[in-house]
Amino acid sequence: MSDRIEYDAKWAYWIDPRSFRMRRVKGSVPIGTIVLLKKQESLDDGRRIVTTTYLFATEDGVIPSTKREVSKNLSRQMLEYMRNRGEYPPFTEISKVFANGNVDLLYHPTGYDRFTVRLTPDLVGEDVEMFLSQLTEPEIEEKEPPWVIEPAKSSRARCRSCGEKIVKGELRLGEPSIYEGHVTYRWHHLKCGVYKIRGSKPTDLKGYDSLTEEQKHETEQIL
Ligand SMILES: [Zn+2]
């Protein structure tokens, strides 16, 4: 886990096998981890969508993978986690039990990223349902801090999506990240950042209750 390989991308995450959280890529990723590269694309009709490319961090570099391979990798990583901790991995639930003894877990680290993780009797080395029944639910982990919405306090910050200035008073979205135990924010224009929180409700955003009616309306229109 301590060996890392250099890798940088404007918008990418790696899946931490110790917590199954998606961590933002910042210059390097641990070898052996799954990497999700995100891209925002504009469709001809002007809509913007987010695409995900799946990669795998190896000693020789971060190489292309597929969602199928990623799921296989997750099976192994989750099994190791479950054996070591005696717990279900976070963000995971049983989605299907098959007559042949296979069990599919649904792993959903975010609202947009969902993976089916298959456990087979072969992989587990015993009856999968029996194995799972001995696990405890994950300890309630500290929740990921929420995104923030607020009118920009100054015109100093640049939008981390488009690079343009965010004008004072304009609504901005704060993307949380934890740096040395403290929550810091990367700011985005509301219209730019919204693609990263698709599926969220306005009330999920910290600060929404303090907005004016007009600002709330603007948020609801875009979200
Ligand atoms: Zn922007």
Please tell me the predicted confidence (pLDDT) of residue 139.
63
> Which structural domain range is residue 54 located in?
4-133
35 with 97, same domain?
Answer: yes
The count of C-alpha atoms lying within 13 angstroms of the C-alpha of 175, restricted to the half-sphere facing its C-beta, is 17
Instruction: Note whether residue 138 is domain-resident.
Output: no
How many structural domains compose the chain?
A: 2
126 with 31, same domain?
Answer: yes
170 with 125, same domain?
Answer: no
158 with 51, same domain?
Answer: no
Ligand 1 mean position, distance from CA 28 (Å): 25
Calpha distance 70→97 (Å, rounded) = 21
31 with 129, same domain?
Answer: yes
The values of phi and psi at residue 103, to 5°, are -130, 130
Instruction: Note whether residue 100 is domain-resident.
Output: yes
13 with 121, same domain?
Answer: yes
14 with 112, same domain?
Answer: yes
Ligand 1 mean position, distance from CA 187 (Å): 9
Instruction: Note whether residue 104 is domain-resident.
Output: yes
12 with 96, same domain?
Answer: yes
Calpha distance 73→95 (Å, rounded) = 18
Ligand 1 mean position, distance from CA 137 (Å): 40
- Where does a domain end: 106, 133, 160? 133
Instruction: Note whether residue 142 is domain-resident.
Output: no
Instruction: Note whether residue 39 is domain-resident.
Output: yes
Give residue-wise pLDDT tens across range 138-190: 765 556 789 999 999 999 999 999 999 999 999 999 999 877 667 889 999 99
Q: Which segments of the chain have a pLDDT < 70?
A: 1-2, 139-143, 180-181
158 with 95, same domain?
Answer: no
Please tell me the predicted confidence (pLDDT) of residue 198.
78
Nearest to 148 by CA among 171, 181, 179, 180: 171
pTM: 0.63
Ligand 1 mean position, distance from CA 140 (Å): 35
Calpha distance 18→15 (Å, rounded) = 9
160 with 85, same domain?
Answer: no
Please tell me the predicted confidence (pLDDT) of residue 195.
85
Ligand 1 mean position, distance from CA 20 (Å): 29
112 with 206, same domain?
Answer: no
Instruction: Note whether residue 143 is domain-resident.
Output: no
CA angle 68/108/44 to nearest 5° reads 75
95 with 203, same domain?
Answer: no
Calpha distance 187→172 (Å, rounded) = 6
Calpha distance 190→79 (Å, rounded) = 39
